[in-house]
Amino acid sequence: MTISRVSTPLPTITASAGALAVHGLVALDIADSAKPVEISRLKISETYNPHWTGWDPKTHRLVVTSGKAVQDRLYLVKLDPETGALSLDEGFRDTDGKVGFNFAERQWPHGWTGSALPHGAVFSLDASQLPGSGRRR
């Protein structure tokens, strides 16, 4: 998977699977597209394989899911737009105290209890931030 914003100075973010798996994310400088340069690497765990990312330009964070196994958590990853450095958002912790959000065996707000397996995630605006709402935060 690759995130690339050619019109901005943000680095490309890649994730790989199989024998070349980094079990995390890699930020690449693609200023010279013929010779990408790795500028940051974030290994999430020995087994985590990122599948989906969503970008929030306001907070400079990525939301990352694997969609592979219930024990894989959803993480927020900080991306420094100046350096391309990647780091886990240590402030984003679940009720178990661990970094990330756990989808295994929990009671959900609508009353169902069980495990979930997220495929993707995005950042969204609340209603007050939508065009035409008349109010901005």
- Tell me how far apart the alpha carbons of residues 72 and 23 are, in angstroms, rounded to a whole number: 11
pLDDT digits (tens, 9 = 90+) for 45-92: 888 888 889 999 889 999 999 878 878 899 999 999 889 999 999 999
Residues of the chain with pLDDT > 70: what percent?
Answer: 81
With CA atoms as reference, report the closest residue to 86 among 18, 19, 29, 20: 29
Task: Assess whether pLDDT exceeds 50 at residue 95.
Answer: yes
pLDDT digits (tens, 9 = 90+) for 2-35: 444 434 444 555 555 555 678 899 999 998 989 9
- Residue 123 CB neighbour total at 10 angstroms: 14
Q: What is the pLDDT of residue 125?
A: 75
Question: Model pTM greater than 0.95?
Answer: no
pLDDT digits (tens, 9 = 90+) for 96-117: 999 999 999 899 899 999 998 8
